[in-house]
Amino acid sequence: MTSCDTRASRFLDHLEHQRRLSPHTLDNYRRDLRRIAGWMADHGIADWPHLGQAQVRDYVAWRHRRGASGRTLQRELSALRSLFRYLMNEGDAATNPADGVRAPKSPRRLPVTLDADQLDHLLSLDDDTPLGRRDAAIMELFYSSGLRLAELVSLDLGDIDLEDATLQVTGKGGKTRRVPVGRTAREAIRRWLALRGRLATLDEPALFVSARGGRIRPRTVQARLKRWSSLQHAPRAVHPHLLRHSFASHLLESSGDLRAVQELLGHADIATTQIYTHLDFQHLAQVYDQAHPRAHRRKG
């Protein structure tokens, strides 16, 4: 066993017995370090302390040319940094050559969406049972207002104002925002509310309840959407984020107003929030009414 292998083995033992990392994580560390060590051997670098920052950059460039993604290289650099932190603590290395080296960014994958025609077909449910009306209202609201799954299941009856066509949403970090609710979604919610009492317990405040009468659970929503995507012959399995992505994509395509869409989605990024806090609700509602395929408010 070479000194390079010996140092890596001691480091892996430390991760297993001192830091108690999972076998899966240990396998990732072992595989990544073995790959880097193989490259070092091919380039005449005998041991870890002989590895410099320039060589680390060369390794990253070599891996990237061979098709490694930015995420993979980020993980490998993380393993290398951890190894050198250990070696420095043990007195076996003076510096950490992976510090300051960044992985190339991978192209961001665009979210999958359904087009307007596919959504119209999906949302044309022919089921007047309480569960059918509930599911229709849920899907309409996802697409109408771009909600996250956690936001939808946490809605209470008092959060929605059907007359004002608005919804108070509690998003990540407990932050609240007000979003418009389209006409078709409001009609679906009214139809659901007419039958909600058949399922809900008397003291249940949730807008959407399960067959047992309590607040609906996220897994139930996911399962019901998957069921309807099959029954309606959707081109792919439907999940809450697919409807949220479709909402954002269609609104942005029609309006071109990225800031308004970001505000409606309730993105938690600090810079984004600072930019959009000055947008007033009337502007957001106007963009929504003009652009969303199923909005088109009607007075009266």
Q: What residues act catalytically? A: 148, 172, 241, 244, 267, 276
Residues 113 and 185: their CA atoms lie apart, in Å, by: 19
- Phi first, then psi: what are they for 204, rounded to 5°? -85, 120
Q: Residue type for 186, please?
A: R
DSSP state of 172: G
Which residues contact residue 89 at a Cβ distance below 8 angstroms, ignoring those fewer than 6 apart? none
- Which residues are registered as beta bridge partners of 160? 167
- Phi first, then psi: what are they for 206, rounded to 5°? -65, 140
Query: Residues 75, 30: contact at Cβ < 8 Å?
Result: no
Q: How many residues does the chain have?
A: 300
| Whole-Å CA distances, 58 to 138, 155, 266 | 52, 52, 41
Residues 229 and 14: their CA atoms lie apart, in Å, by: 48
Closest CA to 165 of 149, 145, 150: 145
Closest CA to 171 of 189, 154, 157: 154
Residues 294 and 153: their CA atoms lie apart, in Å, by: 22
CB contact burial 17-44 (16+ within 10 A = b; e otherwise):
eeeebeeeeeebbbebbeebbeebeeee
